[in-house]
Amino acid sequence: MDVISIRDMSKENIEDYLSLAEKMEKDLQNNSVKKIDGIISTLFFEPSTRTKLSFQSAAERLGLKVVDFIASLSSLKKGESFSDTVRMVDGYSDVIVVRHKLEGSARRAAEVAENPVINGGDGGNQHPTQTLLDLYTIKKLKGKIAGNEVHLVGDLKHARTMRSLAYGLAMFGAAVKLVAPKGLEMDLEMVEQIKKNFPSAKIEYLQNIDFSNADIAYVCRIQEERFADKYEAMSVKKKFRINPEYLTGVKDNFAIMHPLPKIDEIPPEIDDTKYARYFEQARNGIPMRMGLIKKVLEG
Ligand code: CP
């Protein structure tokens, strides 16, 4: 019952998670959440606001107890390895949510742990629970995922959210347009894999931002922490921005999503437009992660 990559999931698995999130959202509204026993640990070696706190909040709402790990105050500082840390935390809890800067770290944690492991982000690789809440948000906003034209805009080379989401969108039959600053395009291998797994997928690179036919723009920040050259990151960050003029002529029900945090790529005046849906998107993390924890613990 590990949740490591969106690529491990079938469409039916994902549909189950979407239905479960919907049920959890209704239960929260009706104050009828069925409590479950257990302890969850949040083992984050990289910073996080949304993923860590929403998992903790989701767990508390389900009646679980939370064991938190603060990397800077842990025995990592004495040189303890990642694998040994996972083994210890596995003994203290029933499910682990792990985030680490190394690609493949969540899969390694799942090999070492006896209890289920949920990937809260492994380097630039995968962020499956973000993709589940993104798909849930799109379904809530648009009624369905298939047929929407979704523009993925930003640092498509380093953003794990984009790699996961491109795969999920193609699986569900959305049309995906990839728009990135020069040098930060999604790698061709990933796009080829999507086309191979979903031969009818509509996925293509665009040279410029043009939202006139888009249903959704899913924007992400320049992932400065993953650049070898910080000056290059600063230079791209200065230039990459969703100007309010890009919203002229968009569809009436156009939506802007973002996994957050946003830095300068979305100017604050966009927050007040009807198109900005990213705060609502982040809140959808609660019912989605409640459903995930429940499913992982109860099977
Ligand atoms: N979307 C997301 O992963 O945010 P955090 O880095 O704050 O968890």
For the stretch 286-296, pLDDT in tens is 999 999 999 99
State in Å: Cα 121 to ligand 1 middle.
9
137 as an active site residue: the answer is: no
| Active-site annotation holder among 34, 77, 78, 239 | 78
Q: Quick one: which of 280, 247, 265, 255 has its CA closest to 156?
A: 265
Tell me what the pLDDT averaged over the chain comes to.
Answer: 96
pLDDT in tens, 36-90: 999 999 999 999 999 999 999 999 999 999 999 999 999 999 999 999 999 999 9
| Active-site annotation holder among 127, 139, 277, 289 | 127
- Say yes or no to pLDDT of 239 above 90: no
260 lines ligand 1 (CB under 6 A): yes
Strand partners, 176: 150, 203
Residue 236 to residue 52: CA distance in whole angstroms: 28
State in Å: Cα 161 to ligand 1 middle.
9
* Sequence-ordered list of residues with C-beta below 8 angstroms from that of 238, at least 6 positions apart, any chain: none
Six token digits for residue 138: 């799109």
Residue 71 to residue 85: CA distance in whole angstroms: 10
pTM: 0.96
Tell me if 203 sits within 8 A of 170, measured CB to CB. Answer: yes
- Say yes or no to pLDDT of 157 above 90: yes
Provide the pLDDT for residue 299: 80
Provide the pLDDT for residue 128: 97
pLDDT in tens, 92-145: 999 999 999 999 999 999 999 999 999 999 999 999 999 999 999 999 999 999
In the chain the domains, ranked by start, together with CATH numbers, are 6-126+285-298 (3.40.50.1370), 128-282 (3.40.50.1370)
Residue 185 to residue 139: CA distance in whole angstroms: 26
Q: Quick one: which of 144, 156, 106, 109 has its CA closest to 128?
A: 106
State in Å: Cα 264 to ligand 1 middle.
16
Best mutation site among 46, 50, 284, 288 for ligand 1, i.e. most ligand atoms within 8 A of its Cβ?
A: 50
223 lines ligand 1 (CB under 6 A): no
pLDDT in tens, 16-27: 999 999 999 999
- Say yes or no to pLDDT of 179 above 90: yes
Residue 35 to residue 59: CA distance in whole angstroms: 10
**What is the per-residue burial (b if ≥16 Cβ within 10 Å, else e) of 17-44?**
bbebbbebbebeeeeebeeeebebbbbb
Residue 67 to residue 65: CA distance in whole angstroms: 7
Location of structure tokens 């996972």: 86
- Say yes or no to pLDDT of 15 above 90: yes
- Say yes or no to pLDDT of 238 above 90: no
248 as an active site residue: the answer is: no
Task: Collapse the DSSP code of 206 into the 3-class scheme (helix H, G, I; strand E, B; otherwise coil) and give the result.
Answer: coil
Residue 1 to residue 161: CA distance in whole angstroms: 21
Residue 96 to residue 115: CA distance in whole angstroms: 7
Residue 287 to residue 298: CA distance in whole angstroms: 16
50 as an active site residue: the answer is: yes
158 as an active site residue: the answer is: no
- Say yes or no to pLDDT of 170 above 90: yes
Task: Collapse the DSSP code of 225 into the 3-class scheme (helix H, G, I; strand E, B; otherwise coil) and give the result.
Answer: helix
